[in-house]
């Protein structure tokens, strides 16, 4: 008589048991709150008060709120500008590191540090670098005679936005560098050699071979970076808290300010809700890019 | 000559930009207050280095407590998440069952959902559960971003392990669970190390959840403690703050330097489908 397989060797049973712990954690503390958050955006809830459904009132109010408008603009600008720089500089650094040289491992490890250390802690360093009284940048510019007063980096809206972008670019370069280094190492050397024999110049080789072959990777890196830049909280909240006068808020810092600091949970959830359509598009694009990956 | 232009010059420029903030952190944490606020002194150097800021941080603030809080939460969250993810990843990479596609998609989407849009409703859930201001509550909370990440990473890794060994063991009558623990587990060591390092680093660096859900000074993590208890808005905060940033960065930096290759492999592995 054939022996029946023990219960645990039945694939559906075993699969369910193995996935269950992960599903409970992710379902209970991620999927459920996400749904709750969407609903919360349609309520007038405050901290400790469940509130009642008020339809689109939160959203209707928010689109007339000048602070939200400037926040939307900031978020778009912050994401787009930093992405361009992170991509270009990250790729440039990858190209530099991709040349074999003594000390390669050392330099690669050290130059990835901005991505590794806790963001809030490096943000403190940037905050101090942008200090209105003691910034070394002001000190150096004044010493060089280019300026006659200190720059109020975080007190002037445009300087503050620029300062935040610099800190974000600083932190994000290594992400692109690591991705591109892996991509560059996957390009067979023969391609470059063949092109060189045919008399192609360095920049032609770069644009027509390297860049083209890296395009699928560029798409993926850009999407991932966009998702995390556009929902950034740590850098902005640490360095400017959305100031001066709400000029540097991103969606998430504004949501935090209104919901947690101000207690308007429903309104905060609605502010976070503004990011959802963009996130959905980016997630779909990421999925599509990953499926196309060779 | 060409090498100077294509290698050392750009490398030097990148090093200057990317490493300068660390130099600034170290410099500030050993600079006495008189020099920090002096308008005449050269800001790029320190004349009389001091350990006062570090001493203040270690003996007059709750910094050591925050440090061990972070260490405990990061270790527990990592252990929980990597174990749970390993089991799920095995099922997704090796077992053929209905709904596997759907689960994979769910994990992937969960991986793309940033904590930044979850903290408000999650705060409600935490209140209902009575988990507010309990340090251990951060362990399951951190698993919400660690589990999708680790599962994703480990599925990719498991798929790269050839199946012959398992098939041979199966022919010999070994059960699925024995195969999982005696064959797959040891073979997955490099993937597991990447998952461990990443999870630990991500938990150590986490800010938003710890900021929203912990309020007693004794329950704070390093980034939250420094940001809420040490930032006093005066000009003398910088020494201790930079010392705290430096000491708080060290554990992840040390871990990273020991396992650079695994870290890099994990970072690029997370981008693969």
pLDDT tens string A171-181: 999 999 999 99
The per-residue pLDDT for range B11-49, each reduced to its tens digit, is 999 999 999 999 999 999 999 888 888 777 788 888 888
* First and final C-alpha spacing in chain A: 48
State yes or no: pLDDT of A287 exceeds 80: yes
* Chain A residues whose beta carbon lies within 8 Å of the beta carbon of residue B109: 283
What is the complex's ipTM, to 2 decimals? 0.92
State yes or no: pLDDT of B155 exceeds 50: yes
C-alpha angle A270-B228-B129 in degrees, rounded to nearest 5 = 55
Choosing among B40, B271, B273, which should be mutated to test the A contact, i.e. which has the most A CBs within 10 A?
B271
Average confidence score pLDDT of chain A? 90
State yes or no: pLDDT of B165 exceeds 90: no
- Residue B176: the pLDDT is 82
The per-residue DSSP string of chain B comes to -HHIIIIIHHHHHHHHHHHHHHHHHHHHHTS-HHHHT-SSS-TT--SS--SHHHHHHHHHSSHHHHHHHHHHHHHHHHHHHHHHHHHHHHHHHH---TTHHHHHHHHHHHHHS-GGGTHHHHHHHHHHHT-TT-GGGHHHHHHHHHHHHHHHHHHHHHHTS-SHHHHHHHHTT--HHHIIIIIIHHHTHHHHHHHHHHHHHHHHH--HHHHHH--SGGG--HHHHIIIII--SSGGGHHHHHHHHHHHHHHHHHHHHHTHHHHHHHHHHTT--
Q: Can you tell me the mean pLDDT for B67-89?
A: 96
State yes or no: pLDDT of A247 exceeds 60: yes
Q: Can you tell me the mean pLDDT for A254-263?
A: 92
The per-residue pLDDT for range B137-146, each reduced to its tens digit, is 999 999 999 9
State yes or no: pLDDT of A147 exceeds 90: no
* Chain A residues whose beta carbon lies within 8 Å of the beta carbon of residue B25: 122, 124-125
State yes or no: pLDDT of A2 exceeds 80: no
Share of residues in chain A with pLDDT > 90 (%) = 62
State yes or no: pLDDT of B273 exceeds 60: no
Query: From CA A159, how far away is CA A152, in angstroms rounded?
Result: 8
CB contact under 8 A, A290 and B273: yes
The per-residue pLDDT for range B174-222, each reduced to its tens digit, is 888 888 888 889 999 999 999 999 999 999 999 999 999 998 989 999 9
Q: Can you tell me the mean pLDDT for A254-280?
A: 92
Q: Can you tell me the mean pLDDT for A8-22?
A: 87
Residues 169 through 198 of chain A touching chain B, CB cutoff 8 Å: 170, 173-175, 178-179, 181-182
Average confidence score pLDDT of chain B? 89
Q: Which of A10, A225, A269, A211 is nearest to B267 (CA)?
A: A225
B123, B223, B245 member nearest A125 (Cβ) = B245
Measure in Å the smallest separation between the Cα of B142 and chain A Cα atoms.
Answer: 9
Q: Which of B260, B201, B249, B18 is nearest to A109 (CA)?
A: B260
Overall size of chain A counted in residues: 294
Q: Are B7 and A101 in contact (CB under 8 A)?
A: yes
CB contact under 8 A, B121 and A33: yes
CB contact under 8 A, B204 and A118: yes
A16, A45, A109 member nearest B257 (Cβ) = A109
Helix axes A157-185 and A211-230, enclosed angle (nearest 10): 140
**The tokens of B148 are what?**
């999708």
The DSSP symbol for A191 reads H
- Residue A51: the pLDDT is 83
State yes or no: pLDDT of A1 exceeds 70: no
Q: Nearest chain B Cα to A183, which residue? A: B268
Share of residues in chain B with pLDDT > 70 (%) = 97
Query: From CA B268, how far away is CA B266, in angstroms rounded?
Result: 6
CB contact under 8 A, B110 and A30: yes
Measure in Å the smallest separation between the Cα of A107 and chain B Cα atoms.
Answer: 8
């Amino acid at each position: 008589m054939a022996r029946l397989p023990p219960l645990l060797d039945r694939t559906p049973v075993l699969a369910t048991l193995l996935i269950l712990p992960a599903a409970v954690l992710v379902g209970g503390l991620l999927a459920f709150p996400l749904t709750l958050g969407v609903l919360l955006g349609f309520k007038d809830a405050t901290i400790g008060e469940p509130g009642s459904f008020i339809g689109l009132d939160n959203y209707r109010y928010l689109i007339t709120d000048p602070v939200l408008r400037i926040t939307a603009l900031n978020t778009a600008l912050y994401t787009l500008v930093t992405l361009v720089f992170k991509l270009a500089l990250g790729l440039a650094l990858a190209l530099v590191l991709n040349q074999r040289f003594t000390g390669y491992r050392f330099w690669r490890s050290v130059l990835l540090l901005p991505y590794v250390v806790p963001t809030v802690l490096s943000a403190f360093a940037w905050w101090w670098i942008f200090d209105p009284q003691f910034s070394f940048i002001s000190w150096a510019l004044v010493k060089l005679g280019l300026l006659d007063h200190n720059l109020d980096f975080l007190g002037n809206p445009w300087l503050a936005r620029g300062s935040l972008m610099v800190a974000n670019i600083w932190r994000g370069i290594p992400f692109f560098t690591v991705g591109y280094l892996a991509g560059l190492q996957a390009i067979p050397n023969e391609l470059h050699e063949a092109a060189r024999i045919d008399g192609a110049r360095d920049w032609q080789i770069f644009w027509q071979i390297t860049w083209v072959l890296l395009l699928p990777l560029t798409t993926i890196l850009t999407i991932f970076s966009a998702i995390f830049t556009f929902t950034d909280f740590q850098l902005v909240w640490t360095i400017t808290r959305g100031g001066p006068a709400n000029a540097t808020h991103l969606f998430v810092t504004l949501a935090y300010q209104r919901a947690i600091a101000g207690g308007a949970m429903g309104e905060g959830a609605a502010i976070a809700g503004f990011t959802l359509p963009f996130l959905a598009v980016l997630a779909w694009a990421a999925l599509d890019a990953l499926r196309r990956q060779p | 000559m060409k090498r100077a232009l294509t290698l050392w010059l750009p490398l030097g420029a990148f090093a200057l930009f990317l490493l300068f903030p660390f130099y600034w952190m170290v410099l500030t944490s050993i600079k006495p207050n008189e020099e920090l606020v002096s308008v005449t002194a050269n800001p790029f150097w320190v004349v009389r280095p001091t350990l006062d800021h570090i001493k203040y941080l270690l003996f007059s603030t709750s910094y050591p407590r925050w440090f061990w809080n972070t260490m405990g939460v990061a270790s527990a969250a990592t252990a929980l998440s990597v174990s749970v993810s390993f089991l799920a990843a095995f099922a997704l990479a090796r077992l053929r069952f209905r709904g596997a596609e759907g689960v994979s998609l769910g994990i992937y989407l969960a991986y793309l959902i940033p904590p930044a849009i979850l903290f408000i409703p999650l705060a409600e859930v935490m209140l209902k559960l009575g988990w507010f201001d309990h340090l251990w509550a951060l362990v399951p909370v951190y698993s919400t971003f660690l589990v999708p990440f680790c599962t994703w990473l480990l599925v990719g890794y498991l798929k790269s392990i050839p199946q012959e060994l398992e098939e041979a063991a199966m022919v010999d009558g070994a059960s699925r669970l024995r195969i999982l623990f005696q064959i797959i587990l040891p073979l997955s060591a490099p993937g597991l190390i990447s998952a461990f390092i990443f999870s630990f680093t991500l938990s150590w660096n986490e800010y938003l959840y710890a900021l929203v859900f912990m309020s007693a000074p004794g329950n704070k993590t390093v980034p939250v403690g420094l940001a809420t208890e040490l930032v006093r808005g005066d000009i003398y905060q910088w020494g201790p703050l930079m010392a705290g940033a430096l000491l708080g960065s060290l554990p992840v930096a040390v871990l990273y330097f020991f396992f650079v290759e695994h870290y890099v492999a994990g970072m690029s592995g997370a981008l693969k489908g």
